[in-house]
Amino acid sequence: MQFGVFSVSDLTTDPTTGRTPGEAERIKAVLAIARKVEEVGLDVFALGEHHNPPFFSSSPTTTLGYLAAQTSRLQLSTATTLITTNDPVKIAEDYAMLQHLADGRVDLMLGRGNTGPVYPWFGQDIRNGIKLAVENYALLRRLWDEDVVDWSGQFRTPLQSFTSTPRPLDGVAPFVWHGSIRSPEIAEQAAYYGDGFFHNHIFWPKEHTQRMVEFYRRRYEHYGHGSADQAIVGLGGQVFLRKNSQDAVREFRPYFDNAPVYGHGPSLEEFSRETPLTVGSPQQVIERTLGFREYVGDYQRQLFLIDHAGLPLKTVLEQLDLLGEEVVPVLRREFAARKPAHVPDAPTHAARVAAKGGAHDSTIHAPGDDVTGQVTGQVTGQVPEEARVR
């Protein structure tokens, strides 16, 4: 099982000091957090994508590419890649490039985004969100899986004899998680392709999460990818830790009370009862997280949100020390002991390459027109066999 953290890249005023970090400071802080994630022995760092204040992460591939050069083991992911407002061609090329730079330590989580004004900025309408997600992902999948693509659809210009470059590393595309809080259509999409389903799991009660994950598992089995309990599931979660629970609650309360996402609503105690938010000691976080398995079954990835709501970098790094030293080692041992042998581990590039029969060079050399990209003499959109390098 993989453990890690995700960041939504917010710039939020610290309610205890009244100070708001600048973009440059917050960007540097996120880099420090990611390096710390690897240092303390966690597996994954994931970064969201946003195009509106108060967030800074409009280009997660740039940040993750930088981190690829500064880490050696860390799995680099996104907390959201907007499948609705990004061009699938650009997603295919950007993440294949990142895959090469990171030696395969890359996957991504696709999402629709829930900020209405962002859609028209990119020429789209939020009312088409589900349709965009379905059509754009179908094209993205083909761009990675097929060397030459002819395509037409509703939301972008057609493609003729198009090859996305670079090709996926070792002939295996990045693994995809489909992230959703409340849309069964997205769970259906993940199941149809045999991809992972990631439930954000930070705002809703456990009964809602259970229904969404169960639906995905049933549909995964329906499409013939394996039994329901073999479906690939990831969960989010929120934690704030101190050595004892009283200190954790006292320190986190002003951040919770003023947080843009849930402040000025239910009390900290009410929110902790009704959602997976855990504010307390390492042992409390261990017990609460192990309890997730009771209603979602065995799952493959657990990501924690720990750097939001204006928390200073020093506090976030202290959270990571506690997670790495006292929480995650116990969770690894306990989850491993309870997982049946037939339930798969979290997907990795190396494992997926091995399952496909080994790595091969997926580079394409085609005798094409360097103006139009058309392959000379070809009307079918297929690259001649002799022009392929395998």
User: Which tens digit of pLDDT belongs to each residue from 298-323?
Assistant: 999 999 999 999 999 999 999 999 99
Q: For position 388, what pLDDT does the model report?
A: 39
Q: In this predicted structure, what is the pLDDT of residue 203? A: 83
What are the start-end ranges of the E strands in the chain? Answer: 2-7, 44-47, 75-78, 81-82, 107-111, 149-151, 159-162, 175-180, 196-199, 233-235, 239-241, 278-280, 301-305
> pLDDT tens digits, residue range 136-184?
999 999 999 999 999 999 999 999 999 999 999 999 999 999 998 878 9
Say if residue 10's pLDDT is above 60: yes
Q: What Å distances lie between residue 155 and 89, 107, 127, 158, 180, CA to CA?
A: 13, 25, 13, 9, 22
Residue-level pLDDT at 373 = 54
Instruction: Give me the pLDDT at residue 299, please.
Output: 98
The token duo for 379 is 């009307």
Question: What is the reported pLDDT for 369?
Answer: 52
Choose the weakest-confidence range: 89-103, 196-210, 238-252, 324-338: 196-210
Tokens of 324: 């790495």
Structural contact between residues 233 and 197, judged by C-beta atoms closer than 8 angstroms = yes
pLDDT class for 251, splitting at 50, 70, 90? Answer: very high
Q: Which of 127-131, 344-348, 368-372 has the highest mean predicted lDDT (pLDDT)? A: 344-348
- Asked whether the beta carbons of 115 and 145 are under 8 A apart, the reply is no
* Contact call for residues 44 and 107 (beta carbons, < 8 A): no
Amino acid at 232: I
Q: What residues contact residue 381 under an 8 Å CB cut-off, 6+ apart?
A: 148, 149, 150, 160, 161, 375
In the predicted structure, residue 376 carries a pLDDT above the cut 80: no
Whether the per-residue pLDDT at 241 is higher than 50: the answer is yes
Residue 122 has a pLDDT of 81
Confidence of residue 374 (pLDDT cuts 50, 70, 90): low
SS3 state of residue 16: coil
Dihedrals phi, psi of 317, to nearest 5 degrees: -65, -35
pLDDT computed for residue 372 by the predictor: 55
Q: What is the mean pLDDT of residues 245-262?
A: 93
Q: pLDDT digit string (tens) for 37-55? A: 999 999 999 998 888 888 8
Overall residue count recorded for the chain in this entry: 390
Which of 88-92, 144-148, 360-364 has the least mean pLDDT? 360-364
Pick one of 3.20.20.30, 3.65.10.10, 3.40.718.10, 1.10.3720.10 as the CATH number of 2-359.
Answer: 3.20.20.30
Q: What is the pLDDT of residues 15-33, one digit of tens each?
A: 999 999 999 999 999 999 9
Percent of the residues in the chain that have a pLDDT greater than 70, as a whole number = 93
How many whole angstroms separate alpha carbon 135 and alpha carbon 128? Answer: 10
Residue 10, CA distances (Å) to 82, 305, 310, 311, 315 in order: 17, 12, 8, 10, 16
386 pLDDT more than 70: no
Task: Kindly report the pTM of this predicted structure.
Answer: 0.91
Look at residues 236, 235, 275, 277 and name the one whose alpha carbon lies nearest to residue 253: 277
Identity of the residue numbered 176 = V
Mean pLDDT of 111-126: 80
Return the structure tokens found at 231: 């479906």
- Check residue 28 and give its pLDDT: 97
Do the beta carbons of residue 229 and residue 217 sit within 8 Å?
A: yes
pLDDT value at 331 more than 50: yes
